[in-house]
Structure 1
Amino acid sequence: MMFLEFFIWGIWFVTMGTYLVKNLHATGVQNATAYATQALGAIIAPTFIGLIADKYFSAQKVLAVLHIIGAILMYCASKATDFSNFYIFLLLYMLIYMPTLALVNTVSFKQMLNPNKEFPLVRVFGTIGWIIAGLLIGWLGWEQSGSLVLTFTTAAVASLILGLLAFSLPDTPPAKRGQKISLGDVFGLEALGLLKKRSFLVFFLASLSICIPLAFYYNFTNPFLNEIGVKKAAAIQSIAQFSELAFMIAMPFLLIKFGIKKILAMGMLGWGVRYILFAFGNAEAGYWMLLGGIIVHGICYDFFFVAGQIYTDNLAGEHYKNAAQSLITLATYGVGMFIGYTVSGPIVDHYQTSASIHNWQNIWLIPAGIAVVVLILFLLLFKDKAPANNSGTDSIAPISA
């Protein structure tokens, strides 16, 4: 289940930007608009899960139905001949895919006696699924042959398989059947009181802000690598997931050694370093810089987002734990990413020098600058000195690869 869940996402998401540019002749703004469907899905997902899946239907059945519908939508997207039609199918798909990320976790946790120890061993297969997707694209040469449309048909087939498989998963009945659930519960609004704490407020705003440069990575790295002549770019990008996996395993030890503030700061610094390496790297003598920008993904993602989940878990306490995590997810994967996708498209179009050439150095220096500014403000304003503890290790379950 976990392998297919993230294989489905990874097989098309990484290379979609390249597909849109080469096959549908999309602009930078259109490219960013397509990726923004992820953020819209993240905003809608809590409503779907909180008001429907948690209250009325078993999680595995909802998961099955969503993935079967998703298979149909993804196949339709593969047949779209212009961006407008493609976008409609993609938007509908992401609105129903994003809730499945929470559903696979729900199904997993329900079957485990000790989720703290057992879940990471299951979740790692999601990362493996993402890695295999990238390696498959590179091995089959879909980027070089102009066959990236096959990524969407492959996702459709995998989604259908997971949809059918989900019916055979152990029963996971709705956890809040018969209970009254408000929108405040769904979006974690009861945790807003935590914003009165200066440390959490600074962390909250930094989390939202750092997602703006993050969006540049997701929607333009693959087009960038292909444009400058990197071979099998999707396969090369899968190195990022190996890095993510390694640092995720090391996270509990690193938190004890460095403390939460230094770990969060290193995560933000990682984004600045990544984009500087991209800005000055190339497919020849500067190839090592491109690899460095990809390898640093483990620090960029785990040191901020995973560590941030742990920090939120420890600070919120038992009563507000779920609400606080929902609030952070809404701010980052929802609002923050949506802003990032919205601003990145016009910037990339502004630095387009010809029909298929961009001034990538200027493009990458902009998110690098944003990350550095966020880092400086965080270091100046974040004063929390409470040591990280092990009570939050159950939060090591990032939403996406």
Structure 2
Amino acid sequence: MSLKFRLTVMNFLQFFVWGAWLISLGGYMGQNFGPIEGSSIGLSIGRTYGSMGWASLFMPALLGIIADKYFSAQKVLGFAHIGAGIAIYFATKATNSSEMYWIIFATSCFYMPTIALNNSVSYALLNKFNYDVQKTFTPIRVWGTVGFILAMWMTDLTDWKSNTMQFVFASVAMIVTGLLCFTLPDVPAENKNTNQSLSSKFGLDSFVLFKQKKLAIFFVFAMLLGAALQITNMFGDTFIRDFGSNPEYQGTFGVEHSVFIISLSQISETLFILTIPFFLKRFGIKQVMIFSMIAWVLRFALFGIGNPGSGVIFLILSMIVYGMAFDFFNISGSLFVEKETDSKMRSSAQGLFMLMTNGVGAILGGEFAGRTVSYFTIDNKVQWPNVWFSFAGYALVIAILFALVFKYKHNPNEVINVSH
């Protein structure tokens, strides 16, 4: 088998194993568990998803050091996937939200570092065998999103989303992925960065970038918007499934196949990636990021007025705008960091961008979203329109503040180079 094919399979499985449970976890917890003592089930779900943010704060750097200095990177990637597969299996034994929190945290400690490691291994092998990395990796990486979508469909159409089979499915897939990683060509440890301090290895030196006003403002907004990135992953499935308690919506396609409906978001994501070069060229990085924030407003507001019956069109429109909401900020934000930082600090700066969005932002988002759902839960019934309109208002405030505070001049003659 060619290297490109093997890397395509690896990238497909990298996100396939995540799609098997990430979207359906919240709905499963809502249907099967009560709240952790002293909190609502909404807050329990939010904090469980927030555990991924805690894992993202330190585990990617830790496994990155191990891959750099001690073991071949593809082996570290393989062991991490197997560790995640073993951890997620214990979700089949969880009897309450507290147990599930620690199981998802343990799973995330192994899984979250594999996202960066997967990219590192792919880049290293493409370079090793003299491929044009930028040209070759993009079509390979797209298969990761395809894998995520296909896993969602399988979980939905088999109705594993409603029981522990989703975790068995994910566990087996993760272990198979880990074993396949060992068959890849060697990416040996190079004992790199031996003269760096421990703070440098964990990317803490990148916080010096906060001394630059423009970057400091950007990273603060990255954190604030990062708090919104996982909200619909946390509660989208739960929200749609809740309509099943209303006779008017029982048996509708949306209620029966909620995860399938949500998968339209990931399809939209793959399509909007293709439009980014045009939008960046025409409008510039700041405007594209504002478009993203307005898209988040629409994402939440359309959830607020949608339903699986006569209002299903609003749910579908929400899924469509998700592609703009997610891609436009992540990719244009990454390009901004690339342009505004010194070449010696770019890797650290990109790591800080990810830490602020997927680490600190995800933690705050889990807590904020959980408390919002809890606040609007009356007699164990969530007032979902109030929840979604609150999130829409939050995104709108961020968009307005960003437009007023963040200063960035667009050069329409600049060459835009987008890789994903």
User: Which of 310, 314, 317 does residue 339 from structure 2 map onto?
Assistant: 314
In structure 2, what is the equivalent of residue 118 of structure 1?
136
Give 3-state SS (helix, strand or coil) of 1:12's partner.
coil
Deviation at 1:278, TM superposition (A): 0.9
In the alignment, the residues of structure 1 paired with residue 155 and residue 146 of structure 2 have an alpha-carbon distance, to the nearest angstrom, of: 14
Give 1:178 deviation, angstroms. Answer: 6.5
Quote the residue 2:11 is aligned against. 2
Deviation per residue, 1:34-56 (Å, 9 max, x gap): 11111011112233134322221
Structure 1 CA distance for aligned equivalents of residues 182 and 416 of structure 2: 34
For the 8 Å contact 2:277–2:417, the answer to whether it is kept is no
Instruction: Provide the rounded CA distance (Å) in 2 between the counterparts of 1:183 and 1:336.
Output: 24
Whether 1:370 and 2:394 are equivalent positions in the alignment is: yes
Partners of 1:50 and 1:140 in 2: CA distance: 36
Partner residue in 1 for 2:186: 171
Which residue matches 1:134?
152
Are positions 1:381 and 2:390 aligned together? Answer: no
Pair 1:163–1:46, CA change in 2 (3 A): closer
Alignment of 1:4-23 (within 5 A): 4-23=13-32
Shift of 1:185: 2.2
Q: Which secondary structure does the structure 2 equivalent of 1:173 belong to?
A: coil
CA–CA distance in structure 2, aligned partners of residues 359 and 136 of structure 1: 30
Structure 1 position 72, deviation (Å): 1.4
Match of 2:317 in 1: 292
- Give the equivalent residue in structure 2 for 1:399: none
* 1:375 CA displacement: 0.6
Aligned positions of 1:2-401 closer than 5 A: 2-26=11-35, 27-112=41-126, 113-143=131-161, 146-147=162-163, 149-177=164-192, 179-229=194-244, 230-231=254-255, 232-355=257-380, 357-387=381-411, 389-390=414-415, 393-394=418-419, 396=420
Deviation per residue, 1:124-172 (Å, 9 max, x gap): 11100111011112222334xx33x111100000011011101101111
Q: Is the 8 A contact 1:71 1:157 kept in 2?
A: yes
Instruction: Report if the CA contact (8 A) 2:58-2:202 is conserved.
Output: no
Note the C-alpha offset of 1:242.
1.1
CA contact (8 A) 2:47 2:367 kept: yes
- 1:64 aligns to what SS in structure 2? helix
TM-score, structure 2 normalization: 0.89
Q: How far apart in 1 are the matches of 2:415 and 2:210?
A: 23
Q: For 1:103 and 1:264, how far apart are their aligned partners in 2? A: 27
Q: What is the CA–CA distance in structure 2 between the aligned matches of 1:300 and 1:68, rounded to whole Å?
A: 32
Helix, strand or coil: the match of 1:165?
helix
Give the aligned residue type for 1:88.
Answer: W
Distance 2:312 2:197 in 1: 52
Instruction: Give the AA of the match of 1:190.
Output: D
| Aligned-pair identity (%) | 35
In structure 2, the CA distance between the partners of 1:131 and 1:390, relative to structure 1 (3 Å rule), is: farther
Q: Secondary structure at the match of 1:238?
A: helix
Amino acid at match of 1:226: R
Which structure 1 segments of 5+ residues have no match?
397-401
- Label 1:391 to 1:173 Cα distance change in 2 as closer, same or farther (>3 A): farther
For the aligned residue pairs, the C-alpha RMSD in angstroms reads: 1.8
Counterpart CA distance in 1 for 2:197 and 2:342 is: 21
Normalised by the size of structure 1, how large is the TM-score?
0.93
Residue in 1 that maps onto 2:6: none
The separation in 1 between residues aligned to 2:80 and 2:415, in whole angstroms, is: 35
Deviation at 1:193, TM superposition (A): 4.0
- Structure 1 residues 291-330: Cα deviation after superposition (integer angstroms, max 9, x where no partner): 1111111111111111111111121142211011011111
Q: For 1:87-141, what per-residue CA distance to the aligned partner results, in whole angstroms no more than 9, with x for missing partners?
A: 2222111111111111110110012232211111111111001110111122223
Aligned-partner Cα distance in 2 for 1:311–1:31: 33
- The structure-2 alpha-carbon separation of the partners of 1:85 and 1:131, relative to structure 1 and needing over 3 Å to count, comes to same
